[in-house]
Amino acid sequence: MSSTHAEKVRRRVEVSTTAGLGVAEYAESVLDLLREAVPYDAVCLATSDPATGLLTGRYHIDLGDSRDAEFAHLEYEVDDVNLFRDVAVRPRPVGVLDLDTCGAPETSVRWREFLMPHFGIRHELRAAFRADAQVWGLIGMYRGSPASGFSPAEADFIAGLSDTVARGLRAAIVTSAATGDRDRPDGPAVVIVGPDGTVRSATPAALQHLADLGSADTDQLPMPLHALVSATRAFRDGRRRAAPRTRIRLASGEWLVLHAAPLASADAAGGDVVVTMEPARPPDVVPLVVAAHGLTEREQDVVRLVLAGASTNEIGRTLHLSPYTVQDHLKSIFDKTGVRSRRELTAGVFFDQYAPRIGSALTPSGWFAS
């Protein structure tokens, strides 16, 4: 890969990032472009909840049956080399299995029990797409030929795109147009998942949500729920500190919050997990909306006060800014959110999701503090 070719691909990825694509279209565009610079035999790009690291969706090429239940088990319940949660926190968020095992990929459980026997994959490159210290996506790139391992230069190229692709995924996830063609199901949405990853029982509302999330069969789980269930089992076994939850946006535009917990059982071998799905509340969604528009911390402070009805002078006094500086912040906020006035900002962008929690602080992870 020449530096000139790599730079051309990088610029095209940057153009794609600002093209206003939906999540699926953006993922497809990025995967096509990356293949030109870092060839692969198969690939999987996943979106993730930046607050929890759990997968919320995935797009793959040439993997056939991606065996989601097995993947989730190995990713969340088994110690291994280059788990996504470990790659995501590295200063350079990328890992090459051959390099990180000193040429002995067979020391990886994932390689021995999953990649090689099911897919014939010999080489793996993993990376996290991270912007502003938050991970919005993950990628696994794979090659089957014994002689075609991923090079340090290829790893550097993918790592160099981490921020760009993260920002593109962030915007696509949050700002994708809603279809508006979905009726909200009535009643509680609850699923009980057995040890084998299949649905033991579910309420009608839960079945509709599963279908919306891509489940083709009523007894099978879509990838985001496999991830949630495996993370819950890891919590049960003391491998995670807190019971997992995740936020997912449906094609209809509705946001769901999914919670899971292990079910107590008289059978010591039991491993059922209960999953509940509910419409997201404003504090669940607004941090994502704020991040998608790229508002700075100070701009977020100004937005909070605008929603509280504060005047320019009151905002200035509260934040110790001059009225001219407040106006500069407002202009930047209007430009980033695509509105022209305070009224449009309140009514069209943030009011429905943000106003109920005016005054609540945002934590560094993007969640409300209370």
Least confident of 135-144, 187-196, 212-221, 321-330: 212-221
Are the beta carbons of 199 and 192 closer than 8 angstroms?
A: yes
Classify 188 as helix, strand or coil: coil
Q: Give the separation between CA 225 and CA 230, rounded to whole angstroms.
A: 8
Kind and range of the H or E run holding 36: helix 23-37
**What confidence score (pLDDT) does residue 343 get?**
82
Average pLDDT over residues 63-79: 91
* Domain 189-280: CATH superfamily, name plus number: PAS domain (3.30.450.20)
What's the pLDDT band for 367 if we cut at 50, 70, 90?
very low
Tokens of 304: 């909070």
Do 189-280 and 3-175 have the same topology in CATH?
A: yes
* Nearest CA-CA partner of 277 in 180, 190, 346: 190
Quote the CA–CA distance of 116 and 27 in Å, as a whole number.
Answer: 25
Supply φ then ψ for residue 157, to 5 degrees: -65, -45
The lowest-confidence range among 20-24, 100-104, 121-125, 201-205 is 20-24
Q: Residue 179 pLDDT > 70, yes or no?
A: no
Other CB atoms within 10 Å distance of the CB of residue 314: 13
**257 contact partners, CB below 8 Å, separation of at least 6:** 245, 246, 247, 277, 278, 279, 280, 281, 284
For residue 56, give the H/E element and its range: strand 55-61
* Range with top average pLDDT, 200-209, 280-289, 304-313: 200-209
pLDDT tens digits, 237-256: 988 888 889 999 887 778 89
Residue 70 pLDDT greater than 60, yes or no: yes
How does residue 360 score in pLDDT terms, banded at 50, 70 and 90? very low
List b or e across 246-266, with b for residues whose CB sees 16 or more CB atoms inside 10 angstroms.
bbbbebeebbbbbebebeeee
Query: Tens of pLDDT along 136-163?
Result: 999 999 999 988 899 999 999 999 999 9
What is the pLDDT confidence band of residue 330, given thresholds at 50, 70 and 90?
A: very high
CATH among 1.10.3760.10, 1.10.10.10, 3.10.290.10, 3.40.50.300 for 284-357: 1.10.10.10
Tokens of 361: 């602080």
CATH tag for 3-175 (out of 3.20.10.10, 3.40.50.1470, 3.30.1360.120, 3.30.450.40): 3.30.450.40
User: In 3D, which of 123, 139, 39 has the Cα closest to residue 88?
Assistant: 139
Are the beta carbons of 93 and 87 closer than 8 angstroms? yes
* pLDDT tens digit sequence for 26-66: 999 999 999 999 999 999 999 999 989 999 999 999 888 87
Q: Report the mean per-residue pLDDT for the chain.
A: 86
Please, what is the Cα angle at 62 between 89 and 58, to 5 degrees? 40
Domain regions of the chain by residue span: 3-175, 189-280, 284-357
Helix/strand number for the chain, H first, E second = 16, 10
